[in-house]
Chains A and B, each alone.
Chain A
Amino acid sequence: MSAHSLVARLRNGDPDAVGRLYDEYGQRMFAVAYKALGDRSLAEEAVQLTFLKTWQAAERLEPDTEIGGWLYTITRRTAIDLYRRESRHTTVSLDAEIVALPTTFEDLWQVWEVRSMIDRLPDGERAVVESLHYKRQTMQETADELGVPVGTVKSRTHRAYGRLANLLGHLREESA
């Protein structure tokens, strides 16, 4: 289902569209919120609130709204609100600094983009990239964990990197 038809369904008040949106964007929204807040429970709360806000604003969404960018922005803002809430013991006066997120907007955008690319990898390729980069396992350990030969890990890694570089190129073209 296209992003535009999802927006149309949202505007029509179809709650099923929220499930579709979650499937498409939920993990990267969680990644941004988790990066901002550093806490699983708060990050999940941020995702839930973002969907609520999106639902409540659905009638006012333009049909051609770029829903991914919308969700990113609302997730970021909601995370900031929750961060402030959790920092509630630090009250401030008019001319004092208000608590700011420990991460930069650039950090959050990079997490969103990289998670978007990872979401587009086939499961097998995503698993090897996760094992090598996140779990910091060797090729052999990855092969053992996934139950495939080392050669398969290598070929999947090779294809995954090619796909990621290609996706990065497309992102650059889209933003140019």
Chain B
Amino acid sequence: MTCDDFQRSYLEGETTADGEAHLRGCADCQRITPELDVLRARLGDPAVWEPAGPELRAQVITAVVSAAGSSKVSRRSRRWRWLAGAAAALVVAVVGASLFLMPDRADGADWDLTLYANEVAPSAVVEVHGWNTANGTHLRVDVEGLAPAGPNEYYAIWMSSDSGEHVPAGTFRESGQIESWAGVTRADFPRVWITLEPDDGDERLTGETVADTPGW
């Protein structure tokens, strides 16, 4: 009996004297049998077989095409903001500088917020745009100048209330535009902040703050 024969019959659930003899003398098959057990068990897992809806592919492509369009708008918006800031700087330097600090109010966000970065990430620029929804808050977080998280860590976004309740509002690993959600409103959870968390399977808030809402 070959290894292929043994492994195939093992997956089929067949137990023969030949198979048992092969297994006793074959280190490769001894090593792979636990994985064959996992494979056989997973073949009965409904999650493996549940089909995605037939419309999902089209929805994904529509969402991406839409995002591609809005990112062009966003880039134009940033360019105009920069030009407006530069022009203003020629007239009144102080006013011009303040324009650069204003969040980009693209796409009709209900509120915008610029987080201040602390000494952990002094060059980071974090702008948060929020949309109030029936289920909470849709967040778009634009992050620049933040070093990529290490292989065993990630950045976490939080919304917190005045009384110190903290609600997770998304994770990311590197600078860029992050779309996320929180099941609470900014009215009740006014603090938006970012921490660097260890990626150890422990979901508690244990990391250090890298950017926070002014005044917190």
Give A residues with C-beta under 8 Å from B: 13, 15, 18-19, 22-23, 26-27, 30-32, 34-35, 40, 43-44, 47-49, 51-53, 55-57, 60, 77, 80-82, 84-89, 91-100, 105, 110-111, 114-115, 117-118, 129-130, 133-134, 136, 157-158, 161-162, 164-166, 168-169, 172
Q: How far does the Cβ of A39 sit from chain B's closest Cβ, in whole Å? A: 11
Q: In the complex, which residues of chain A have a beta carbon less than 8 angstroms from the beta carbon of B161?
A: 91
Majority-rule SS of A interface residues? helix
**With contacts A19-B57, A162-B7 known, what are 19 further pairs, Cβ within 8 A?**
A13-B68, A15-B64, A18-B64, A22-B60, A22-B61, A30-B52, A31-B47, A31-B48, A32-B47, A44-B52, A48-B59, A80-B171, A80-B203, A88-B167, A92-B165, A110-B42, A111-B47, A117-B39, A172-B31
A96 to B168: give the CA distance in the assembly, Å. 13
Q: What are 28 A-B pairs at a CB distance below 8 A? A: A15-B65, A23-B57, A30-B52, A40-B50, A53-B179, A55-B64, A55-B68, A56-B176, A56-B177, A60-B174, A80-B203, A81-B171, A85-B136, A88-B167, A88-B184, A94-B164, A94-B166, A111-B42, A111-B45, A114-B45, A134-B44, A161-B7, A164-B39, A165-B7, A168-B7, A168-B36, A168-B39, A172-B32
Q: Is B38 an interface residue (CB 8 A)?
A: yes
Evaluate contact between B166 and A93: CB separation under 8 angstroms.
Answer: yes
